[in-house]
A and B are shown apart, each in its own frame.
Chain A
Amino acid sequence: MSMSQRMKTPGFIGLLVATVIFFLFTRSLAGTFGFIVIFGIPYFAMSELPPYATIQEKVGKYAFLSLCTLIFIFLILPILVIIPLSFNAEPYFTFTEGMMALDPNAYSVRWYADIVRFGMTAPDAVEGWWSDMWNNATWVRAMRNSFFYALLSTLLATGFGTLAALGLSRPEMPFRSAITSLLISPMIVPLVITATGMFFFYSQKNTFPFFPDGLVNRDIGIILAHATLGVPFVIITVTATLTGFDRSLIRASQGLGASGWTTFVKVIMPLIIPGMISGALFAFITSLDEVVAVIFLADVDQRTIPRQMFSGLREQISPTILAVATILVLMSIALLTAVELLRRRSERLRGLSPG
């Protein structure tokens, strides 16, 4: 059915009438817009039903699609809503009347400026501004810590994790189920328990080489904790790329005279790299987002972005948090895109999906 044909159906007329009634009833443009979104999208998404479909089935399908639209809105709206809120000129977590009226004065980037300025010793100084910002601004320091821990723990988790995934996906692997359960368990065991255990264990004296005073309140403790928490994600994604991996390729390569190492580099590596990278991205985002272990193991000097957000939300809610959140959302979108592209590339390489 073409668009113009569809517009002549009784269903469309019904939708139109309902919308008009809704508008007359509420007298609100925004509300009517929401009404159209919730009931209009399913209407246009209704695929052609077979001719024998009864009225009940049509109504049922319509209701089902409306429900799904609502669920998708529930999923995505909270995340999108913080983006305009972060440009609030007032220190509130809600839309002001000026914002609703699209008054430019009601919007401002002051909270974004606050991210860099908060905590600086002299935010208005000209000389030494950059080094002051880099070393003293609270959020900038948190950002530096976050990336520092995320990068190093990702390297650890990806390195160990890929190696283990290679072993796990070998058909001859003994105790596979038990070992997999163990390697996945950091994702399952409640973070509070993991963090509590680490807090006790890492604070022991004279136990760890090079760190006679223990690992708590030090970078190394957080990096170890985050690497541990990232491991399951690497295992899951890398083994996923290895299932369906045609092992005869290995024998073919060996049959053609390649050494084990050459086989690994030339045959296995190219196939698992997408899985490795998406595993690494998972581990990266896990570390970047992790706050419980940081609460237990870190001192003020080791504060990360989520830790800073956590205390902000608990103590003094300011839209600076929303500005930071917006930046994080944009970063998530970038990471998600990367993972999606990698997944498709991997499927294409393994011939699982066309194009």
Chain B
Amino acid sequence: MTDATLSAPPQVTSTTPLIAADGVPLKQKLARTTRRMKMRALFLTLPLVLFLIVSFVLPIGQMLYRSVHNPTGSNVMPNFAVQIENWDGQGLPSDDIIETFVKDMAAARKNREVGKTIGNLATRVNYEIPGSRSLFTKTARRADKITEGPYMAALIEIDKKWDNPNLWLTLQRVTKDFTISFYLAATDRKFDEAGSIVRADELYRIYLPILWKTIWLSALITALCFIIAYPVSYLLSTLPLRTSNLLMILVLLPFWTSLLVRTSAWIAMLQTEGIINNVFVYLGFIDDNQRIQMIYNMTGTVIAMVHILLPFMILPLFSVMKTIPPSYMRAARSMGASGTYSFRKVYFPQTVPGIAAGTLLVFILAIGYYITPALVGGNDGLLISNLIADHIKKTLNWSLGAALGTILLVVVLIFYWLYNKLVGVDNLKFG
């Protein structure tokens, strides 16, 4: 397939270079042609690469940026941000700095521009010091009435929480545009009163536990998919073409059916008044009032996701198994190996590439799943994606959502890299 005349260097042994018809050394001309062909091939992919850079790479890049860049503080209080930056952090800031703070606050209170209001700052600080939101909104309402110093005393008169050096340390941190606060939050850590990094209170730890849970649930789903897919793929690969094509439709139809359709189908199957429970009650396995809770929890997520991801395991396994000649097994048997022994030593090793492809693909897809856990996950079937979506769509803590997203992205990319190493992306196929 490869074009030998183009890629292999010419076998020239003599010292005088071969010359092409137009007088250019052949070697040079060949190099030029090769380069041009390379450029042409590259040129064909260029439109798509550019398209993806704009529609996909830059957006994700910007998400990474957003996870460390949050300019709320300096947007709302531009002058104060400059002044506090050089504060040495000892005791309370000088009254000059406080004066700027009060003036900035009064100005921000009047500002109705999105992203530059006192509410934005209050929300930002509240992430660092929970419960401090109203301190800012309340103080801002009175800030324009403070017209002369000492300003610190005036602030303390409004609320004595201002008389706390740690609050000002936090403000110094918040008014810097770049921060690692959101990565700390995303790994259940925070700055303590003195500004050093500590783990969050155990009752508030959620992101790391959910990340681990996501990883092990994905592993479980992958394992289940493998156990289920292996025999079916084997059967399909041994059947005559006509029959296997027919049975393949049973695998491909779910693959082509909408995710939402399959998820609704599982809700109909698994809910307490659903088909499986009805069958169990009908057959007398369980009592009518002891129906099993199989959905809106982890079980539901696992069952539905195994069903949804199964084709991604069957297809690569099948395409590898199809290429294994049945004569190998027969040879092993004829030489006296037992069925299990010849399977273990002859057949199984040959399917390993398919296993690698299938398990990695299913694992990668499972780890980022959102829709199915959101619909059937209930309380304990939620995955990390659901938390990310929550921060983007509900709590509006976008920076934290971006930080969590970045962490998930890194995990996925590690496995994608592994997939590329072991399997190669160009071996991905459907059907």
Within the complex, are A and B direct neighbours (CB within 8 Å)?
yes
Residues of A whose CB lies within 8 Å of any CB of B are 26, 28, 30-31, 57, 60, 64-65, 67-68, 71-72, 74-79, 81-82, 85, 92-95, 156, 160-161, 163-164, 166-168, 170-177, 179-186, 188-194, 196-202, 224-225, 227-228, 231, 233, 236-237, 239-240, 247, 282, 285, 288-289, 291-292, 295-296, 306, 309-310, 313-314, 317, 321-322, 325, 328-329, 332-333, 335-336, 339-340, 343, 353
What's the minimum C-beta distance from A48 to chain B, rounded to whole angstroms?
13
Total inter-chain residue pairs, C-beta < 8 Å: 296
Chain B residues near A30: list those with CB within 8 A: 282
Question: Could you list 24 examples of A-B contacts with CB < 8 Å?
Answer: A72-B247, A75-B307, A78-B266, A78-B307, A93-B267, A94-B274, A164-B49, A170-B37, A177-B426, A185-B56, A188-B365, A191-B370, A194-B56, A227-B51, A231-B48, A282-B430, A289-B260, A291-B260, A296-B389, A296-B392, A309-B261, A335-B256, A336-B249, A340-B431
Cβ contact within 8 Å between A189 and B283: no
Query: Does B19 sit at the interface, judged by CB under 8 A?
Result: no
Chain A residues near B274: list those with CB within 8 A: 93-94
What's the minimum C-beta distance from A31 to chain B, rounded to whole angstroms?
6
Chain B residues near A92: list those with CB within 8 A: 273
Cβ contact within 8 Å between A95 and B275: yes
Closest 8 CB pairs of A and B: A190-B368, A167-B44, A197-B59, A201-B59, A78-B265, A164-B48, A160-B48, A197-B60
Cβ contact within 8 Å between A163 and B257: no
Cβ contact within 8 Å between A325 and B265: yes
Cβ contact within 8 Å between A288 and B258: yes
Cβ contact within 8 Å between A190 and B412: yes
Query: Does B235 sit at the interface, judged by CB under 8 A?
Result: yes
Query: Does B405 sit at the interface, judged by CB under 8 A?
Result: yes
Chain B residues near A85: list those with CB within 8 A: 268
Residues of B whose CB lies within 8 Å of any CB of A are 1-3, 6-7, 34, 37-38, 40-45, 47-49, 51-52, 55-63, 66, 228, 231-232, 235, 241, 245, 247, 249-254, 256-269, 271, 273-275, 278, 282-284, 307, 310, 339, 364-365, 367-371, 374-375, 385, 388-389, 392-393, 398, 401-402, 405, 408-409, 412, 416, 420, 424-426, 428-431
Which residue in B268, B307, B367 is a CB contact (below 8 Å) of A190? B367
Which residue in A163, A190, A196, A200 is a CB contact (below 8 Å) of B45? A163
Chain B residues near A75: list those with CB within 8 A: 250-251, 253-254, 307, 310
Cβ contact within 8 Å between B63 and A313: no
B389 to chain A: closest residue by CB: A192
Chain A residues near B247: list those with CB within 8 A: 72
Chain A residues near B429: list those with CB within 8 A: 236, 240
What's the minimum C-beta distance from A309 to chain B, rounded to whole angstroms?
4
Q: Report the separation of the CA atoms of residues A295 and B283 in the bound assembly, to the nearest whole angstrom.
A: 42
Cβ contact within 8 Å between B257 and A200: no
**Further pairs besides A94-B278, A192-B389: 10, Cβ < 8 Å:** A26-B284, A164-B45, A167-B42, A180-B425, A192-B388, A199-B392, A200-B402, A247-B1, A247-B3, A310-B371
What's the minimum C-beta distance from A334 to chain B, rounded to whole angstroms?
10
Q: Report the separation of the CA atoms of residues A196 and B399 in the bound assembly, to the nearest whole angstrom.
A: 11
Cβ contact within 8 Å between B368 and A68: no
Q: Report the separation of the CA atoms of residues A165 and B20 in the bound assembly, to the nearest whole angstrom.
A: 33
Q: Report the separation of the CA atoms of residues A13 and B420 in the bound assembly, to the nearest whole angstrom.
A: 53
What's the minimum C-beta distance from B50 to chain A, rounded to whole angstroms?
9
Q: Report the separation of the CA atoms of residues A328 and B63 in the bound assembly, to the nearest whole angstrom.
A: 34
Chain B residues near A175: list those with CB within 8 A: 42
Q: Report the separation of the CA atoms of residues A73 and B254 in the bound assembly, to the nearest whole angstrom.
A: 12
Which residue in A31, A224, A306, A343 is a CB contact (below 8 Å) of B283? A31
Chain B residues near A156: list those with CB within 8 A: 51
Chain A residues near B310: list those with CB within 8 A: 75
What's the minimum C-beta distance from A348 to chain B, rounded to whole angstroms?
13
Cβ contact within 8 Å between A193 and B405: yes
Chain A residues near B367: list those with CB within 8 A: 190
Chain A residues near B59: list those with CB within 8 A: 194, 197-198, 200-202
Q: Report the separation of the CA atoms of residues A329 and B264 in the bound assembly, to the nearest whole angstrom.
A: 12
Cβ contact within 8 Å between B268 and A82: yes
